[in-house]
Amino acid sequence: MEQDQASRKQMRSSMRIIVLGCGSIGKRHIRNLLSIGAGEIVVCDINEKKLEAVKKEFSIKGFLDLDEALSKDKYDVAFICTPPSLHVDQAMQLLDHGMHCFIEKPLSNSLVGIDGLMDMAEVNHKTVVIGYPLRFSPFLRKIKKLLDNRAIGKVLFLRAAVGYYLPYWRPDEDYREGYGSKQALGGGIILDASHEIDYVQYLLGDVSEVFATCKKLSALEIDTEDFAEIIMHFKNGAYAQLHLDYLQSNYRRSCEIVGEGGMLLWDINEGQIRQYGLNDKEYRVYYEGLNASVNDMYLEEMKHFFACIESGTKPFISLEDGKQVQEIIAMIKDSSELRRFVSR
């Protein structure tokens, strides 16, 4: 075991890594790469001010142009932290240069090019992971285990919600300049909060049909939706209701699951899971990850990515998973426009 860990550490330390994007998530990945002793890191961003700040903060090299970066050296791994509209084209370019790719969520802003990307990754025998860190949360893992063990019996319905005021999401930048505010770049609460779409599928399985209402309700200076109410019907008969918004002044993220034998309640701000039986006066509390920080799930996600590269095994959150989320997003938007259920 110690030899395996030493071997993995040595392999990581020898890798050359390029991070595309100097936003908050790009900086988080750079910090985590440094903390696990990953190899030499280079950063790339078209925003000169952001690029220079990151180069100075982490004492790393950087480029304003991806083609220039690729012409200067060879890299083993890429972290794609750019707006969603750029993900597929950039990933294909990086795969063509022999790199394994970590793509931040969502995989894209549409389904265009995803099948080609999947084919290219397979032909090149490269690992591609989609960044949905909530799947590595100790809370979500506990909920999945409880459901698999039928702790509340057959699941009947699930209610998930997330909301936070868009100007507070990335406090180091003007929200009007961020990709979240711009439809052309892949913004909007549905794409931004696609974590919920991913993890609800992970918990309940394949979706058969969707009904949704997506609107811009606020005076925020954006050209995307800031509010979405979504109903999902699953092939196993369960239903889910998802609420997503850019509007709440206090960050909220929660999940309630009702089964034939009880219910589970998770609120991320409370840091606990409550399990109720059919007698609602009795419940059990799970303090999963009580001493864990939010960053721990990002670290676990990153370690998993490198472990998949080293072992050649399929990642927990693969290109196929990313495509499934993208298909459901397309269904959600179609449903809102058509004002009816949309089937798969």
CATH number of the domain encompassing residue 286: 3.30.360.10
Both 251 and 167 in one domain: the answer is yes
Q: What pairs with residue 275 in β-bridges?
A: 264, 284
Alpha helices in the chain (DSSP H): 2-14, 24-35, 48-58, 66-72, 84-96, 114-124, 138-148, 166-169, 189-192, 194-204, 294-311, 319-338
For residues 217 and 308, state if they share a domain: no
Phi, psi (rounded to 5 degrees) for 59: 55, 55
Please indicate, yes or no, if residue 289 is contained in any of the structural domains: yes
Residue 272 lies in a domain: yes
Identify whether residues 286 and 334 lie together within a single domain: yes
335 and 311 within one domain: no
What percentage of the chain exceeds 70 in pLDDT?
97
Tokens of 342: 């949309």
Q: Are 199 and 289 found together in one domain?
A: yes
For residue 30, which amino acid is it? I
Residue 96 belongs to some domain of the structure: yes
Q: How many domains does the chain have?
A: 2
Rounded to an integer, the average pLDDT of 223-229 is 98
Cβ neighbours around 5 below 10 Å, total: 9
* CA atoms in the 13 A half-sphere facing the CB of 91: 36
Mean pLDDT, the chain, as a whole number?
94
Identify whether the C-beta of residue 118 lies closer than 8 Å to the C-beta of residue 319.
yes
* pLDDT above 90: residue 48: yes
In a domain, 92, yes or no: yes
pTM, 2 dp: 0.94
**Mean pLDDT across 37-51:** 95
CATH of the domain at 44: 3.40.50.720
| pLDDT at residue 92 in the model | 98
Same domain, 127 and 139: no
The answer to whether 335 and 210 are in contact (CB under 8 A) is yes
90 domain-assigned: yes
3-class DSSP state for residue 317?
A: coil
Which pLDDT band holds residue 288 (cuts at 50, 70, 90)? confident
Instruction: Say if residue 256 is in the same domain as residue 146.
Output: yes
Q: Give 164's pLDDT tier (boundaries 50, 70, 90).
A: very high
Domain annotation covers residue 320: no
DSSP state of 172: T
254, 156: one domain: yes
- Which pLDDT does position 1 carry in this prediction? 53
Clarify whether residues 102 and 200 are in a common domain. no
Q: Are residues 108 and 197 in the same domain?
A: no
Q: What is the pLDDT of residue 2?
A: 52
Residues 29, 178, single domain; the answer is no
pLDDT at 6: 58
At residue 7, does pLDDT exceed 70? Answer: no
Residue 336's beta-bridge partner residues?
Answer: none
Tokens of 119: 């084919």
| Distance in angstroms (rounded) separating the CA atoms of residues 268 and 139 | 8
- Asked if residue 46 and residue 123 are part of one domain, the reply reads yes
Q: Do residues 203 and 143 make contact, with C-beta atoms less than 8 angstroms apart?
A: yes
Boundaries of domain holding 107? 2-131+299-315
282 pLDDT band, cuts 50/70/90, is: confident
pLDDT reported for residue 311: 94
CB contact set of 240 (below 8 Å; sequence gap of 6+): 157, 158, 159, 160, 200, 204, 230, 231, 232, 234
